[in-house]
């Protein structure tokens, strides 16, 4: 099936307008039909050996969210001490999650045993299942943006804390906890870029040809 020119433009528009959402969530709930659509999109993410190592935990319970928020606060206090001077000042000014504000949270996990001990495509690199689960995160994020939903990745939380709160089995690896909801607006640029934390690296500094550090003639 070929992609039309109009469809192609829509895909690129969605990619370039994806943002990490933290402060802009509305309290309005999301229809189950929409949640199922973005979960189904994530379930169609690429996976090495077609292992499909992901599971999805949909979180709407306020008490569960409050526990996750507490886990974030613990890890965030630790993180503040890792930065110094101006960097720490900027860090403290940033809102880095929307756990309680977002109507829905989704935890994406990786079952490293789902496809068995020996998996096609995972023979030389045993982490391909983890990479595949991350593809599900990205696919869900793009699908959510196409639905005009904001998504925020809560990376500042210890995995063992998340596993305890969500009753995740010992052999399952949490990959991402995502805050999802309708938003008041989307930023035109990433918030960290606006805050002066960093800026987007020019593409030509990151592209190599045939060998590392070999630039195009």
User: Is 211 within a domain?
Assistant: no
User: Is 12 within a domain?
Assistant: no
User: Is 217 within a domain?
Assistant: no
pTM (2 decimals)? Answer: 0.95
How many domains in the chain?
Answer: 1
* Residue ranges with strand state E in the chain: 54-59, 104-111, 149-153, 172-182
CA 172 to chain centroid: 18
User: Is 215 within a domain?
Assistant: no
Provide the residue-wise pLDDT of the chain in tens; the chain has 217 residues: 899 999 999 999 999 999 999 999 999 999 999 999 999 999 999 999 999 999 999 999 999 999 999 999 999 999 999 999 999 999 999 999 999 999 999 999 999 999 998 999 999 999 999 999 999 999 999 999 999 999 999 999 999 999 999 999 999 999 999 999 999 999 999 999 998 999 999 999 999 999 998 877 6
Instruction: Count CA within 13 A, CB hemisphere, residue 124.
Output: 2
Say which CATH number the domain at 191 has: 3.40.109.10
* Full domain range(s) for residue 183: 20-205
Sign of the alpha-carbon torsion through 7, 13, 16, 20: negative
């Amino acid at each position: 099936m070929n992609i039309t020119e109009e469809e192609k433009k829509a895909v690129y528009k969605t990619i370039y307008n994806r943002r990490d959402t933290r402060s802009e969530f509305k309290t309005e709930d999301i229809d189950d039909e929409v949640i199922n659509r973005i979960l189904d999109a994530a379930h169609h993410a690429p996976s090495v050996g077609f292992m499909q190592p992901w599971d999805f935990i949909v979180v709407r319970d306020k008490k569960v969210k409050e526990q996750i928020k507490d886990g974030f606060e613990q890890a965030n206090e630790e993180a503040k001490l890792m930065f110094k001077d101006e960097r720490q000042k900027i860090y403290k000014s940033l809102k880095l999650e929307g756990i309680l504000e977002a109507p829905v949270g989704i935890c994406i996990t990786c079952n490293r045993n789902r496809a068995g001990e020996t998996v096609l495509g995972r023979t030389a690199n045993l982490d391909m299942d983890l990479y595949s689960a991350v593809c599900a995160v990205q696919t869900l994020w793009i699908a959510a943006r196409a639905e005009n939903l904001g998504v925020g990745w809560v990376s500042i939380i210890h995995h063992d804390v998340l596993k305890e709160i969500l009753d995740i089995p010992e052999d399952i690896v949490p990959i991402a906890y995502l805050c999802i909801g309708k938003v008041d607006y989307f930023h035109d640029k990433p918030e960290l870029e606006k805050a002066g934390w960093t800026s987007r690296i020019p593409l030509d500094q990151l592209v190599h040809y045939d060998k590392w550090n070999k630039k195009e003639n």
